[in-house]
Structure 1
């Protein structure tokens, strides 16, 4: 276990009462270092291709198989072997396979032959589309991404990009059609570090793709790729119909130790802007907390004192507002079963998000273990099925639900079933697009088995325990006949409250949302978990405060239907998040065709819906305890 300076630059710990500026934490690389001897062989692993788009061409969401029948990349002898990846990585499109490229430790190679591929007219037309759409390679050596040789500098330090394009597009003149180059030769530069016992450890890998008109001897012998003759793909004339794939390897000794080899990949970008946003969010929190305290402490205490000093009569009824509905405010919400299920599922989701971010903040989710974050997210959500079942059962019993068996069964089934159906629809779209991201049937069965064997039993067991407990009783008696709700103005309508109540919490997370969407759709390594954790906590605090104000405004208008209203107001930041994601798609992505836009919309809608449940649960639960605190302070005959 070693300390990595850059790995934790930018992570912050969110205290109970204050922000702690920066902390040094430990680094768990996720895998143990592999020591090699000179002459050992390493296989270059390849992954599915992803699209970024180009200046004049749209991008595609659907990943592309590396061994696409039209690209015709060289297949290793005996066929490509799939390497076992994490469940989360597979669900998010990883398809890691072996390649025909092998690196011999400390042995330089020049123009090593792979294979010769023959292309049809249709193949060449599709390849030009792939190049125009900006498809990129994702390779790895010894668990380390193979970076593009075209590195850049950030804060005077070199930064690696963990991908490189499959080809290039250029113009012979301003008026002619573009020419396309398919990279068929790859220059590897491998950095290694010698240990004290003279072992070799891989600490860096870069590659440069070029298009060469190479004439190598496929049967063996010395080959030369020194002639850098560009090999344009001429679709109209069907030139060239045959392309030879080769690669070169050079080894370079480095002083970089193995423990810090990820430092050039991981950077906290624009830390000044992130700190500025965090300070602004903190200021918003103090302002909203002050406003809430002013309203709920000063005014409510004053009202309670006045209420306890006078006898209720017709003369003071209009001045009492929320006090007059004490006999109805703890009336069960409509559709109490659905309400309990949403609260329980929301508790499960928010627990999963916070726990996963906390582990990432501590450095326990290493980027060296590809797909670790999504895998832990899935596993924790499975284990936290018990939290969902317990919370749903407790909520259902508190609000007087009678059909407890139905609650036990429906809680772990309803939302997962909806998500699974949505996921199946998206998967069918991916299959229709012939995308590499389509989840294999075996992984779908494994995902179902994990839910059926772990999440479902935990939810049933914990829900049964919750029903056996005696929960809170309403602090005031509920009237048998519901009180008539007087009409209220538009400022107390649900749409207006959602629009106003969701704005501040959304602003708390809006900056990180840009980086998260970039990480998801552009495969950028996201590493600012400290800022993200602080932003999530800030958003939750603001959700509680704004929902408390909305609930107080609701009961002040003598409207005792506050439960669902609190849920929707607290979940309303997700509406802004969804709208921002749509804006991001049109502003930065320029997706190709209706199918890719439908895929983006489906993914975004599903994620937004789950976040809505999580945030809604936070506001609804906090409002419940607020109502208990307020109405337990008044005297009722």
Structure 2
């Protein structure tokens, strides 16, 4: 019995030792480390990437090892990862001097392709132990000969790999080209030697923080700029909310006083009455197109949950640089799970508004954003397939996404809709709605809906402008964004500013005896999404170097979806804030 117990203990220790030895991302000296090549493409077009061996001729293009695509996660497949093992032989903490990779033969067509790639600043991405390594394929140098300007092209024939380690883990790696060993690319065939070397250095950075190095140093430098921007936005919010609160309270106090005096006069006449009181019999008249309206506010509540769910996951460190696929997967899962909330809110308001076609309302909530997203994705993915780009999502991944939306999202949407319909109560209106609507007087142009949307969209946009620029540079560029705590705060500021400006515009609209505030409040709140898309067009034209049909398709199509997302979400914020305000002022009003 003791011998059996001793054997179990020994086996447990052996199993623990073997498991410790096989821990991923931890190595002993001389252990082989996974080294892959991923993609290649123009530096200015982050979405236009191609297979490493598909675009240009590199060493061992015909002798590369097994394709690793089957081992990629769902997020990596969605972000266009295509890993192929390389023939670079760099083991853990093993330094290498000048090592030959291959003799590379480039014919005339290969040289022509390389010249075109160099002109477009082609860069490639490798992965060493899951860490990205980036480098350029070559360089062009402008020279003058006999008074004529000539452009000479060079291939980086020698690469220096420099890796940083801490204990038994790889922390960081980069690639630098040896400019003394460049190979000129002329019009004729050329054969030359491609070499590499590797160097290792220790560093005092933990394994858990390796994905934040060296961006963490850059983040600390830009943190002050971010905080200045945040302070500017906070001051804007305080001033805006303070001014609006003081002005509205003062105006409303005067209005209530005036209305009370008119009611107390024995011979008071309605001719002396004016302003928002006159529309008390119409202000709670339900909006036209209430099926669509309820579907939009249901989606808006769902989008609010998705946005702050993603922000919370980002704050706790679920997402990290150079892995956008995790964000995509989290967004899809959150969208599917929160469908129950969208269906519930939409169906409950639709029922309280007196809607009867509840089935169509539930279907509309489930398709109003999903269908446009599928159409945009199908178009963009088709363009990527035509260009043979790595951004094309495989069929298997598409089926998994569709299965998540159809088998999880839609049933939850239906369940939420049915529960919301049963839980709905009659709409709590402080004033009785008259049988016939009153006429709406004409107003000057500066009080019309387009002018209101211009004002209501600009102020929230100005509060997030600086952070928006950083987001564009990280999403559509090569910078990393890690200040998710600040982003969370900016999102709250955006909601507050949207609510304040929408309430003010709703009051001004009611004061002109226009009771159609339902759709106006939604459109005023959502107009910030239009400003964001306008900024996207400006950024593409004047701040980025992106070009080409593939990159333009990705950029403008996906930005359209993002701005539609913010339009619905902020429109819902505008409506609910106005609803609370309207109920509050009419609840304190004495009506017949």
Change (3 A) 1:86 1:395: farther
Partner of residue 292 from structure 2, selected from 338, 361, 371: 338
Kindly provide the CA deviation profile for residues 408-436 of structure 1, in whole angstroms up to 9, marking residues without a partner as x: 22211222011110111111122222221
* Mean CA deviation greater in 516-525 or 583-592: 583-592
Identify the residue that residue 373 of structure 1 maps to in structure 2: 327
- 1:113 Cα deviation from its structure 2 partner: 4.0
Any stretches of 5+ residues in structure 1 without a counterpart?
1-31, 54-58, 147-162, 195-199, 212-227
Q: Are the aligned partners of 1:60 and 1:592 in contact in 2 as well (CA < 8 Å)?
A: no
* Equivalent residue number for residue 39 of structure 1: 30
TM-score by length of 1: 0.83
Could you tell me whether the CA contact under 8 Å between 1:43 and 1:101 is conserved in 2?
Answer: no
Q: Deviations over 1:551-603 (max 9, x none)?
A: 11111111111111111111111222111111111112233345543442222
The 1:603–1:182 alpha-carbon spacing in structure 2 relative to 1, beyond 3 Å, is farther
Q: 2:364 is matched with which residue: 410, 432, 435?
A: 410
Distance 2:574 2:65 in 1: 57
1:42 Cα offset (Å): 0.9
Residue 13 of structure 2: aligned partner: none
Q: Secondary structure at the match of 2:471?
A: helix
Q: How does 1:293-442 map to 2 (within 5 A)?
A: 293-311=245-263, 315-317=269-271, 319-367=273-321, 371-442=325-396
Distance 1:110 1:504 in 2: 59
CA–CA distance in structure 2, aligned partners of residues 60 and 45 of structure 1 = 19
Q: Could you tell me how far 1:309 is from its partner in structure 2?
A: 4.9
Greater mean alpha carbon deviation, residues 265-274 or residues 500-509: 265-274
C-alpha contact 1:43 1:102 (8 A) present in aligned 2: no
Residue 140, structure 1, aligned to residue 127, structure 2: yes
Match of 2:205 among 244, 250, 256: 256
> How big is each residue's C-alpha offset from its partner over 1:386-418, in whole Å with a ceiling of 9 and x where there is no partner?
121112112212322111111122211222011
Cα 1:65–1:243 change in 2 (3 A) is farther
Residue number in structure 2 paired with 1:633: 588
Structure showing greater radius of gyration is: 2
Alignment of 1:488-503 (within 5 A): 488-503=443-458
Please say if residues 456 and 524 of structure 2, whose CA atoms lie closer than 8 Å, have aligned partners that are also in contact. Answer: yes
In structure 2, how many angstroms separate the alpha carbons of the residues matched to 1:624 and 1:416? 27
**Shift of residue 369 of structure 1?**
5.4
Once the two structures are overlaid, the 10-residue window that deviates more, 583-592 or 462-471, is 583-592
Equivalent pair of 1:180/1:232 in contact (CA under 8 Å): yes
Q: Is contact 1:88–1:378 with CA below 8 Å preserved after alignment? A: no
Pair 592,470 (structure 1): closer, same or farther in 2 beyond 3 Å: closer
Alignment of 1:106-145 (within 5 A): 106-145=93-132
Q: Which moved more, 1:403-412 or 1:133-142?
A: 133-142
Which of 572, 586, 589 is the aligned partner of 1:617?
572
Aligned counterpart in structure 1 of residue 505 of structure 2, from 544, 550, 555: 550
Q: Is the CA contact (8 Å cut-off) linking 1:169 and 1:179 kept in structure 2? A: yes
Aligned to 1:582: 537
Aligned 8 A contact 1:343 1:613 in 2: yes
Pick from 220, 228, 243: which aligns with 1:276? 228
Residue 596 and residue 69 in structure 1: after superposition, are their counterparts in 2 closer, same or farther (change >3 A)? closer
> Residues of 2 paired with 1:301 and 1:33: CA distance?
68
For 1:309 and 1:46, the matched residues in 2 are separated by 80
1:468 counterpart residue number:
422
Match of 1:149 in 2: none
The runs of 5 or more residues in structure 2 that have no matched partner are 1-22
Q: How much does 1:141 deviate?
A: 1.8
Partner of 2:60: 74
Shift of 1:546: 0.5
Aligned to 1:265: 215
Local SS of the residue matching 2:344: helix
When residues 455 and 116 of structure 1 are mapped into structure 2, their CA distance, relative to the original with a 3 A threshold, is farther
Deviations 1:185-242 (A, max 9, x none): 3221222222xxxxx221221222347xxxxxxxxxxxxxxxx4431112xx2242x4
Match of 1:523 in 2: 478
Count of aligned residue pairs for this structure pair: 561
Higher relative helix content: 2
Distance (Å, rounded) in 2 between the aligned partners of 1:562 and 1:364: 41
What are the superposed Cα offsets for residues 347-386 of structure 1, whole Å, 9 maximum, x if unpaired? 2122211221122123232337553233222221221111
Report the CA distance shift for 1:50/1:300 in structure 2 as closer, same or farther (over 3 A): farther
Which of 169, 175, 178 is 1:201 aligned to? 169
SS in 2 for 1:177: strand
Counterpart residue number, 2:16? none
Aligned-pair CA distance for 1:496: 0.6
